[in-house]
Amino acid sequence: MDFATFLQQLVNGASLGSMYALIAIGYTMVYGVLRLINFAHGDIMMVGAFLTYMATAAGLPFSLAVLIGILGSVIVGVLTDKIAYKPLRNAPKISLLITAIGISFFLENLFNVIFGGVPKAFSAPDYLTKVLHLGEIYLPVTVIIIPVVTVLILGGVLWVLYRTKYGMAIRALAFDIPTVKLMGVDADRIISIVFALGSALAAVGGVFYAVSYPSIDPLMGVIVGLKAFAAAVLGGIGSVTGAVIGGFILGFTEIFVVALFPELGGYKDAFAFFFLILVLLFRPTGIMGEDLERSRF
């Protein structure tokens, strides 16, 4: 690999990694509070991309379409919690997980019924699909925009968590739900906020994903969702900063293994799970996490 190709692959890795990071943040937030692997998170991302697609197809300007996509995802996410997860807060964990799988399957198949399984072409404005030339290096503008957005969002989320009273409530809930309730906090409202925030992040991730890879289909969230989860565990589940680090590690690994060992290209989707298993075997707390059972933000 010559130096130009190496730089190019570095750019490719940053681009992919920031995508995983963005989605992993939402995953880790919901997990941090509810200790629930929200299997539907990847599908919420799909919903965000599809709603944006529909809005642009209806002729709305892109920025408005994205807003609709985010709002729609927030509604779907919060409704999911109210309808499917809330009644099961005191039920065995397994019921919650099964319901989450059910929601995930429901969303995928519902969109499959409505839109069909054939991928749709996602059209984004030119300023997002431009490619810059830096000598021999080709730099899609999304490679710059996505990490910036990810860092901004990370900052925003950290600000909410550590500088607002909602954030304090969220962090408190992550420790102990019953006690926080006793202290007069409306736990359900806070949990709704967490879902709204998580779903909005998923939608933003979905839109950027669709901008970078402009082919969307009802199953687009499945693998990405799983990988984002693996990234979150790698970084230390429950840790927002860890999720970002995990996402970038995963992105760089995928790109460089494929670049250096093309014959391993078929195994690309497996890396995330190898990481997952390695982490569980040797450092169950992940990179940033402290204690798996009691992880915090």
Partner 1 sequence: MKNAIIKLLLILLTLGVIAWANQTLDSYTLSILNNIGIFAILALSYNLINGVTGQFSLEPNGFVAIGAYMTALFLIPAADKIDMFALVDPAPVVLQMKANFLPAVLAGGIAATLVALLLSFPVFRVRGDYLAIVTLGFGFIIRIFALNEPAYTNGAMGLNDIPGIANFMWIGSFALVTLIVMLHIVYSKFGRAMKAVRDDEDAATAMGINTFRIKTTAFMTSAFFEGIGGGLLASFLTTITPDQFSFLLTFQLLIIIVLGGLGSMTGSLVATILVMGSMEWLRFLDDDMVIFGMHTGAHPGMRMVVFAILLIVMMLFARRGLFGDRELPEIFRKKFGKRMRHE
Partner 2 sequence: MKRTLSIVAAAALMSGIAMAKDVVVGVVLPLTGPIAAFGQTSKGGLDIAYEQNHKLKNGDNVKLVVLDDRGDKVEAATAVKRLLDKNHATVILGEVASGNSMAMAPIAEKAKTPMITHASTNPRVTKGKKYVTRACFIDPFQGAVMAKYALDNGMKNAVVVTDAKQDYSVGLSKAFKKAFTAGGGKILKTVLINSGDKDFNAQVSTIKAAHPDIIAFTGYYPEAALMVKQARAMGVNTPFIGADGVGFPELVKIGGKAAEGFMYTDHFNEAAATSPEAKAYVEAFHKKYNKPADSMGALAADAYGMILNAMNQCIDEGKAPTDKECVNDKLRHTKGYKGVTGVITINENGDAVKSAVINEVKNGKFAYKTTVNP
| Binding residue for partner 2, selected from 37, 56, 217, 271, defined by CB under 8 A | 217
Among left, alpha and beta (phi > 0; psi -120 to 50; other), residue 35 is left
Residues 6+ apart with CB under 8 A from 222: 42, 43, 104, 108
Q: In the complex with partner 2, which residue's Cβ is closer, 81 or 217?
A: 217
At closest approach, how far in Å is the CB of 31 from partner 2? 25
Distance CA 5, CA 272 (A): 24
Amino acid (1-letter code) at residue 140: P
Residues in touch with partner 1 (CB under 8 A): 35-37, 83-84, 87-88, 91-95, 97-99, 101-103, 105-106, 109-110, 112-113, 116-117, 226, 229-230, 233, 266-267, 269-270, 272-274, 276-277, 280-281, 284, 292-293
CB of 4 closer than 8 Å to CB of 136: yes
Residue 38 touches which member of partner 2, partner 1, none, C-beta under 5-8 Å by kind: none
Q: In the complex with partner 2, which residue's Cβ is closer, 269 or 291?
A: 269
Distance of CA 110 to the CA centre of its chain: 21
At closest approach, how far in Å is the CB of 102 from partner 1? 4
Q: In the complex with partner 2, which residue's Cβ is closer, 143 or 173?
A: 143
Tell whether residue 117 is a contact of partner 2 (CB under 8 A): yes
Residue 140 touches which member of partner 2, partner 1, none, C-beta under 5-8 Å by kind: partner 2
Of 45-53, 180-188, 218-226, 233-241, which segment contacts partner 2 by CB under 8 A? 218-226
Q: Contacts with partner 2 in 126-155 (CB under 8 A)?
A: 131, 133, 138, 140
Give φ, ψ of 21 to 5 degrees: -60, -45
At closest approach, how far in Å is the CB of 46 from partner 2? 12
Q: In the complex with partner 2, which residue's Cβ is closer, 95 or 109?
A: 109
Residue 125 touches which member of partner 2, partner 1, none, C-beta under 5-8 Å by kind: none
Question: Which residues lie across from 215 on neighbouring strands?
Answer: 121
At closest approach, how far in Å is the CB of 218 from partner 2? 10
Residue 94 touches which member of partner 1, partner 2, none, C-beta under 5-8 Å by kind: partner 1
| Binding residue for partner 2, selected from 5, 95, 164, 179, defined by CB under 8 A | 5
Closest to 286 in 3D by CA, of 240, 226, 225:
240
- Point out which residues bind partner 2 (CB under 8 A): 1-2, 5, 8-9, 12, 15-16, 116-121, 131, 133, 138, 140, 209, 212-215, 217, 219-220, 223, 254-256, 258-259, 262-263, 265-266, 268-269
